[in-house]
Structure 1
Amino acid sequence: MPKRVGVIDLGSNSARLVIFERTSRFGFFILAEHKIKVRLGEGAYENGGVLQPAAMQKCLNAFVEFKELLQKYGAKRVLCVGTSALRDAPNGGEFIKLVFKKTKIAIRKIDGESEAYFGGYAAHNLLSDFKEGVSVDIGGGSTELARIKNGKIEAKISLNLGTVRLKELFFDKGDMGGLYGYVNEAISAVGDEFASSNLIAMGGSARALSNAIMAIENYPIKIVHNYCYDYEKYAPFFSKLIGAKTLELAKFPIKKERYDTIREGAIIFSEIAKKIGAKSVITSGVGVREGVFLGSILHGANLPKNFNPSLKSLQDRFASESSHADKFAKALFSVFFSLHKLEDRYISPLCYAAKLCEIGARLGFYAKHESAASMVLNGLNYRTSHEQKALIAAIIAMHGKPNLSPNFANLSEILPNERTLAWLSFLCEFARILNENALKNLEFKFENLTLQITGAKNKLMLKDSLRKLPKPAVFAINFI
């Protein structure tokens, strides 16, 4: 597959183009993302699903622009899927031919279950670890659910329940009784197999709700992917939002572009959450687009269990290939255990930090560790919880010092205590120094409050660097 791949997701409300760049076999990142609110389904739901001329023309214009962007980014392959509005439309085939004739972009019309599958597949592979859950992807024309359990998608369903559909059929007419009747009838098709305490929120409306809660909480990380919250705690907030008048929406931390459909989205979200018995919400920044892309490189298989595509991508682009820092960090964690007595769950973020602590040098030597920490916060997204990401960034930013830099102090509310941070920062910097001195085959032994290092006896720069490194406890270092 080419290095850069464009994926277009054509929904009832918006068309999105994402440019994925592969850095290795499974390592990748999003190079660019562009969204155009095309409203392909506008006017269709009151006309038997028939796509209206004005909506088709606007959407066609968007595809012309997407074609120009694909050429600009040098994307050699394009994957395009059309969802609810297109599959509902009697004249959908006509529109597909029109787009291909004008742009040579082939739209693949997918059914509702396929749409549910792609969303669930992306969430399963790219969220941080969760045992089970139900992905709920709220779109303009439909809502898809996928039951994820035991490492696979066990059930999927598509409902003719979307924000634009509800807006045109009921909300704009003030028919709230009809709206709730319609919603409840649609949701009645969701069987007991979808019961779950974890709701995985997808789609623009659901993410907008998560962003609003993050704003209310003044949450320190601004990336919505992997953000989690207690559904019952915020159910009253959803109720207030649903009951608000249009002119009152400015009082809520909702982007203005979402005003026209956010209440419809909140209704769908709340009713489904109650139907499946959700207690916790896990926000997914990935969905159909990422599912389509992953399917093209994995051919339906899952990413390897302990593989992190974001970590690999950052390493591919910015890290040294010859680094042994993570191995040193793991060995030091073990050898100093009698002093720090930290839980084994800290080994993984420590090793991640050791692998990534030098990536900031690609931006410049000075303040390279704060640069690396910022790169982690913005780039280490897939398969990493917010707490893990914050911890990895903090370890790197501390650069062996016992205190967190003021530039990252806002992360403290989701970080472990100062003693734990001080030890992890020390271990990471110790490992970085060993790696910097081009050392490989070292042996460590700790006894009588003395660390013995075998294999680096004549390394003057190493000794000088370790002498300057603040220790989180009292012990000696001996080179033999």
Structure 2
Amino acid sequence: MDRLTEGRVFASIDMGSHTLRLLIVRCREDKVVEPVRSERRVTRLARGFEPAGTLQPRSMERSLVVLEEYARMCREAGAARVVSAATGVLRRAENAAEFLDAAFRATGWRPRILSETEEALLSAKGMMSVVNPRVGCFLCFDLGGSSTEFVLLDSASQRVLWTESFFIGAATLTERFFRTAPALPGSLEAAADYARAFLAPARAAVHRSLEGLAAQPGPPKLVGTAGTVTTLGAIFLGLERYRPSAINNLMLHEDWIRRTILDLAALDCEGRRRIRGLETGREDIILGGALIVQEILRLFSSDTLVAVDAGLLEGLVLSGIEEERGIRSPLVSPLTWYRKRE
């Protein structure tokens, strides 16, 4: 048997507030994980969530159709195990149980709603599986549609120093401040003020956590993942076809992000769709997401961040493989990714 076709097949599904993602992998006996299939569909599960705090019927219907499609793909691939997790808006929706019951009927498995801490740690596991080099302290953030998770970790000891989730994301900030495009006068400033105040407790918490270390490591390296960050990376590179390997460990600068925000704010959605690298279906929320990224950089007085494609989806599948194989690992997995030449 060929080394690239041996091993058991695993899958993970990330049911986010804006996008549903699927990853199917094959894990070889030498602990090398080979991606077999990767899919993403924009379903806008969080659309219309506020102010009532409920999922809307059309949003649920779109998501269930995609979940049925993903279930078929997993069966066709012969997945031995599927880890399906729900995050963000499903933690808060009053009718989350109704949606999860329907998801079970559609797929045969019941998605698990991750706690804020579980989501943050699994995202960090996925991110650290591709970050290079892994030296010093890292402040990892996963900026989703309705929430942003932070994990501060010391790579030397693989200790988590602090973790927190904030109910602010690209979709929720858009619904509050950017319902029209181009952005209305004053909306950029109002949204920035709101995001800055909302995330302010993170700066004090990180400062306290670093003070407790015996050896002062200096400012943590900022590492970001999820749709907003990866889309910004694709725009920066002008990618005609999205390639995860091109995004992993890409440096994005605050000055470029600031200019991009101003450009996005001046465009309507049709104009944004013409930007090379901007994922279709993200044109309405990319401005809100980019603004949150800018405020995170400013909050921690950083000029740059490291963008990575890997995150929660990869963390879920790695943890599933580790659990089946009896591997107890901290944040940095002993499993490694197969690197295909492009």
Measured against the shorter chain, the TM-score band is: 0.7 to 0.9
**Alignment partners' CA distance in 2, 1:89 and 1:277:** 34
Return the match for 2:284 from 260, 267, 279: 260
| Counterpart secondary structure, 2:103 | helix
TM-score normalized with structure 1 length? 0.59
1:23 aligns with 2:23: no
Return the match for 2:236 from 213, 220, 235: 213
Partner of 2:38: 33
More displaced 10-residue stretch of structure 1: 142-151 or 75-84: 142-151
Return the match for 2:167 from 152, 157, 160: 160
The 3 A distance-change label for structure 1 pair 59 and 245 is same
Give every structure 1 segment of 4 or more consecutive aligned residues whose post-TM-superposition deviation is greater than 6 Å: none
| Counterpart secondary structure, 1:168 | helix
Partner of 2:336: 309
The 3 A distance-change label for structure 1 pair 304 and 283 is closer
More displaced 10-residue stretch of structure 1: 164-173 or 251-260: 251-260
The 3 A distance-change label for structure 1 pair 124 and 223 is closer
Return the match for 1:53 from 40, 51, 57: 57
**Alignment partners' CA distance in 2, 1:224 and 1:156:** 28
Residue 273 of structure 1: how far off its partner (Å): 1.0
Residue 60 of structure 1: how far off its partner (Å): 1.1
**Alignment partners' CA distance in 1, 2:71 and 2:175:** 31
The 3 A distance-change label for structure 1 pair 153 and 242 is farther
Q: Deviations over 1:160-211 (max 9, x none)?
A: 1111111222210647254334312211221334364521120111011112
1:138 aligns with 2:143: yes
Q: Deviations over 1:356-383 (max 9, x none)?
A: xxxxxxxxxxxxxxxxxxx4x34xxxxx
- Is the 8 Å Cα contact of residues 241 and 249 (structure 1) preserved in structure 2? no
**Alignment partners' CA distance in 2, 1:101 and 1:271:** 41
Partner of 2:249: 227
- Is the 8 Å Cα contact of residues 241 and 252 (structure 1) preserved in structure 2? no
- Is the 8 Å Cα contact of residues 121 and 153 (structure 1) preserved in structure 2? no
The 3 A distance-change label for structure 1 pair 141 and 222 is closer
- Is the 8 Å Cα contact of residues 131 and 248 (structure 2) preserved in structure 1? yes
Residue 251 of structure 1: how far off its partner (Å): 6.5
**Alignment partners' CA distance in 2, 1:113 and 1:36:** 25
**Alignment partners' CA distance in 2, 1:23 and 1:101:** 32
Partner of 1:319: none
Please give the root-mean-square deviation of Cα atoms over the aligned residues, in Å. 2.6
Structure with larger Rg: 1
The 3 A distance-change label for structure 1 pair 147 and 32 is same
| Counterpart secondary structure, 1:50 | coil
| Counterpart secondary structure, 2:22 | strand
Residue 88 of structure 1: how far off its partner (Å): 1.2
Q: How does 1:58-457 map to 2 (within 5 A)?
A: 58-131=62-135, 132-149=137-154, 150=156, 151-172=158-179, 174=184, 176=187, 178-194=190-206, 196-215=219-238, 223-229=245-251, 231-246=253-268, 247-249=270-272, 252-255=275-278, 257=280, 258-299=282-323, 301-302=329-330, 309-310=336-337, 313=338, 375=340, 377-378=341-342
* Larger proportion of strand: 2
- Is the 8 Å Cα contact of residues 233 and 247 (structure 2) preserved in structure 1? no
The 3 A distance-change label for structure 1 pair 45 and 224 is farther
- Is the 8 Å Cα contact of residues 254 and 297 (structure 2) preserved in structure 1? no
Unmatched segments (≥5 aa) in structure 1: 315-374, 379-480
Residue 303 of structure 1: how far off its partner (Å): 8.1
**Alignment partners' CA distance in 2, 1:172 and 1:272:** 22
| Counterpart secondary structure, 1:148 | strand
**Identical-pair percentage:** 21
The 3 A distance-change label for structure 1 pair 251 and 64 is closer
- Of structures 1 and 2, the one scoring higher in RCO (CA 8 A, sep 6+) is 2
Amino acid at match of 1:255: L
- Is the 8 Å Cα contact of residues 210 and 227 (structure 1) preserved in structure 2? no
- Is the 8 Å Cα contact of residues 238 and 277 (structure 2) preserved in structure 1? no
**Alignment partners' CA distance in 2, 1:94 and 1:80:** 16
More displaced 10-residue stretch of structure 1: 289-298 or 13-22: 289-298
Count of matched residue pairs: 309
**Alignment partners' CA distance in 2, 1:54 and 1:146:** 34
- Is the 8 Å Cα contact of residues 250 and 308 (structure 2) preserved in structure 1? no
